[in-house]
Amino acid sequence: MPAVHPLSRKPISFGSFSSLVAAESTRHGGVSSAPFNSLNLGLNTADSPENVQENRRRFFTSLGIDPARIVSAHQVHGNQILLATQPGHYEGYDAFITNQPNLYMTVTVADCTPILIYDAQQQAVAAIHAGWRGTIAQLAEKTVGVLQTQFGTNPADCHAYIGTCIDECSFEVGAEVADQFDPAFRQFDEGRKKYLVNLKAANQRQLLTAGIPADQIEVSPYSSVLHNEDYFSYRYEQGNTGRMVAVIGWQ
């Protein structure tokens, strides 16, 4: 029998919250053909729009989510945060927060870092798209601050998931990018004559600085490059590939 691959993986640390829905998609279980095979959820790819919509329907309904209750955006690698009060597709945001039930925050990735946050006391959630520009802009830390301002969030009550993205050994950058990162998150590879940057660790530091306890931050063990059979990687697949979605909301 052929192996059955899941459409999504759910953060282990969120498992004790019965009302919370949080997951990141894999590349399995969709209808798209190569190079988008198969669960391409990216609205701005060269894939057939009909395929993408069917893939999105499959992914969201597998999680018990009404696709009409999704918040998404055309992401711009910026630092703008949307306080979402109704579903829709927006322009120019890379992070989303809400405290409304049955409203699901989503970010789209294919190497960039997805970050999901749940405030278990105030019933607030956040989804963050942190590529290297968003990481440099301190978007994760900034989002926790906006949760505090908008909803009275205490970071000590937050649980966070840093999702699957490009790994340190695959994220080669030049000095112009590396120099913007703390030395703790970059190293120079003599063989490749390139710097390697650790996006997961850089964003984890931001969440810790914001006040989220270390034992309430889960980091995905997967890599979009090293585990490319399960995830899309824009860099590894030279830009011609699909997109994953990370989603969070509460019922």
What CATH number is given to the structural domain containing 151?
3.60.140.10
Average pLDDT over residues 3-10: 82
Residue with tokens 């301002």: 149
2 pLDDT tier (thresholds 50, 70, 90): very low
Tell whether 137 is covered by a domain.
Answer: yes
- Residues of the domain holding 87: 8-250
Tell whether 129 is covered by a domain.
Answer: yes
Tell whether 237 is covered by a domain.
Answer: yes
122 touches 151 (CB < 8 A) = yes
Average pLDDT over residues 19-42: 97
Digit-coded pLDDT (tens) for 149-186: 999 999 999 999 999 999 999 999 999 999 999 999 99
Average pLDDT over residues 41-67: 97
Average pLDDT over residues 215-233: 98
What pLDDT sits at residue 3? 54
Average pLDDT over residues 214-220: 98
Average pLDDT over residues 40-68: 97
Cα separation of the two ends of the chain: 36
Tell whether 1 is covered by a domain.
Answer: no
Beta strand spans in the chain (E): 8-9, 20-25, 70-74, 81-83, 88-91, 95-98, 104-109, 113-119, 124-130, 158-162, 172-173, 186-189, 194-197, 217-219, 244-250
How many structural domains compose the chain? 1
Digit-coded pLDDT (tens) for 86-137: 999 999 999 999 999 999 999 999 999 999 999 999 999 999 999 999 999 9
Q: Which residues contact 134 (CB under 8 A, 6 or more apart)?
A: 77, 78, 79, 94, 95, 112, 113, 128, 140
Residue 1 pLDDT greater than 80, yes or no: no
Tell whether 2 is covered by a domain.
Answer: no
Tell whether 199 is covered by a domain.
Answer: yes
What pLDDT sits at residue 5? 77
Which pTM value belongs to this model?
0.97
